[in-house]
A and B are shown apart, each in its own frame.
Chain A
Amino acid sequence: MAFIEISGVSKSFSSGGEKRDVLSGASLSVERGEFVSIVGMMGCGKSTFLKIVAGIIAPDAGRVEVGGSLVRGVQPNAAIVFQNYSLLPWFSALENVRLAVGAAFPDWTKERQREQAARHLEAVGLGKALQRRPSQLSGGMRQRVAIARAFATEPEILFLDEPFGALDALTRESLQQELVRLSSSAHRPVTTVMITNSVEEALLLSDRIVPMTRGPHALGTPVRVDLRRPRTAGELMHDDHAARVRAHVVASLTRDLKPATKQQVA
């Protein structure tokens, strides 16, 4: 049995008396230490899927198991990074991270919690911005704080909900590399599930990619990325295997978008 076992997860939302199925019978297994990306377009329900797997919202049907036990609520050994940073504006960068450390390691002294927080902020290059508030930081720096906050709790599982979606291309790239570096230097293997709308980002970071389309039965066939690490965006552009994976993912994502008449002809 895999480390994270998601089986038959369904979820629907009702708005204005109209019920809309977002997910129906979605299943996925993630091995310990694996990096799995779910790639899909906006509104395909991938964010809902991640929130269910992370235990933030409960599914209508189906189950999520981590390490053999059923998930109810957020796992103590999991950390989550959201696209919109989710920092508390009334605290400094240090205090935002310290709050997470304090919740993860309540037995530690305040001093030790602060050291842990400061060390992880230094690791993402924010050693000089410890006392700054989120409003005094750029988008990239804010997301660095959020990433530091996640790693400072020394998680076994990392959930990334379009973590780099709001950043410009250059910042995006440097943060992707930062993430790889932090993951590989962690004390224990980090199992990661990432949501993204960028196939390139998924190629760069993942062991496996799961395409997701709109509509309830949305999870496509996972495809393995057999490329050695570290990878760079430049290499991926010219690699044959990467091209095949890219083609597979793009094909599964766009299959439903072709005009219906053409499909009938085919």
Chain B
Amino acid sequence: MKRLANLLLPAVGVVFALLVWWGASTMVTDLPSPMKTWEESKIYILKPLEKRGEMDQGIALLAYYSLMRVARGFLLGIAIATPLGFMLGMSKTLSRMLDPVMQVLRPISPLAWLPLGLIIFQKSEPAALFAIAVCSMWPTVLNTMAGVRAIPQDYWNVAKVLRLSPFTTFARIVVPATLPYMFTGFRLSLGIAWLVIVASEMLTGTPGVGGFLWQEYNSLIYAHILLAILTIGVVGFVLDRLMGFAETRLRAI
């Protein structure tokens, strides 16, 4: 009974959302209905790996390009953010010094970073990575910092009492104690990176879900916009679940 409800209730929610969509499509002339969207998009879904042109590709391929771009930008971001978070967590001086800079940089939209990246790198691909990295790094910086600060005095005492070297203290106590916080940061950072990808692909016109969305808008094929939107949502949801799973595994230790 409970399992049935677990399956049934979400299904009811989905049907309800589809009804709202359908209702809206009867009122807005250019908004395709769910059925029309499926009819016009099914080739992308049923042949997800087919490549017909630069932008005209199966949805799985487009999502793959976007994911690869996000992965690179995200890895670049956390490669900077994690050490920075540790340093800020361990040094009050440094964190007081950098706090105003971070508070100013943090709320800047990816749309604002991207032109700057284009000026600096002169190419769209590195500019996109730059925007993803610089936007997505903050949750990892802040969570890692908070994690280091939350290490109980007991553990610092262990380091003191056992006379562990600074390196051993860092590797065997600080990192493991901070790991759960770090992973929360990673999960939030990945979420932001995935948000940024669409904006950066739209502006740079590179192949991927976001690039596809923008091109189909310009080609007036509105059903494909909805396909792209749904793909972005589903992929983002799966990413978050995967990171969440890794996080709970870590916290269980």
Residues of A within 8 A of B (CB): 54, 56, 73-74, 76, 79-80, 82, 84, 86, 88-91, 99-100, 102-104, 133, 153
Contacts and interface: CB of A to CB of B under 8 A. Distances in A.
A88 B176 contact: yes
Interface stretch (B112-120, B150-158, B193-201): B150-158
Nearest to B175: A90
Nearest to A51: B157
Contacts of A56: 157, 160-161
- The DSSP consensus for interface residues of chain B is helix
Nearest to B154: A86
Interface stretch (B32-40, B130-138, B162-170, B230-238): B162-170
A88 B161 contact: no
A74 B161 contact: yes
27 contacts: A56-B157, A56-B160, A73-B160, A73-B163, A74-B160, A76-B163, A79-B161, A80-B161, A82-B154, A84-B154, A86-B157, A86-B158, A86-B161, A88-B155, A88-B158, A88-B172, A88-B173, A90-B176, A90-B253, A91-B172, A99-B168, A99-B172, A100-B162, A103-B162, A103-B164, A104-B162, A104-B163
A76 B173 CA distance: 20
Contacts of B155: 86, 88
Interface in B172-207: 172-173, 176-177
Nearest to A153: B162
Contacts of A89: 253
Contacts of B172: 88, 91, 99
Which of A76, A90, A100, A102 is most buried by chain B, counting CB atoms within 10 A of its CB?
A90
Contacts of A84: 154
A72 to B, nearest CB: 12
A103 B161 CA distance: 10
Contacts of B161: 54, 56, 74, 79-80, 86
